[in-house]
Amino acid sequence: MLSKLHGGYGYCTEYGIEQFTRDSKIAAIYEGTNGIQAIDFVMRKILKDRGATFFSVGKKIQETMQREEAKQFPHEVSMIGKSMEMSEKVLAKFGEMLAKKNDMGVLAHATDFQNYCGNLVIHGFY
C-alpha cells in the first residue's frame, strides 16, 4: 500500500506514514499479548493459590510503608494502604464470580486489575 502511495518508496524513513503503519500494527500485537499476560497474572498467578502469593507481596509493601523514611509521606502511605484494601476487595469479588462460574467476568477485568497492581507495586516499593 505504501509503495503505491509514495511512488515506490515503500517503508522508508523520509515519510512519517511508515511510523504510523508500524505503530498501528505493534499496538494490535501488544494489546493481544497484554491481555494474555493479564489473564495469566490473575488466573494462574493469583487465584490458583487463593491469593497467598499476592498477599505476601502486599505484606512486603506494608513493611516498606512502616519504614522510617516512609513517615515523611503520610498522605501517600495512606493512599497506598487504601489501594491495597481495594485490591483485596477486587480479589474477593473475583472469588465470588468464580464461585458462580462467571469466569468471563473475571477475564473481562484482568487487564485493568493487572494495571492496577502494577501501579500499586511501583508506588508501594518506591
Q: Which positions are catalytic?
A: 31
Q: Which three cell numbers stand for residue 39?
A: 489473564
CA distances from 5 to 13, 14, 18, 107 (A): 14, 13, 11, 41
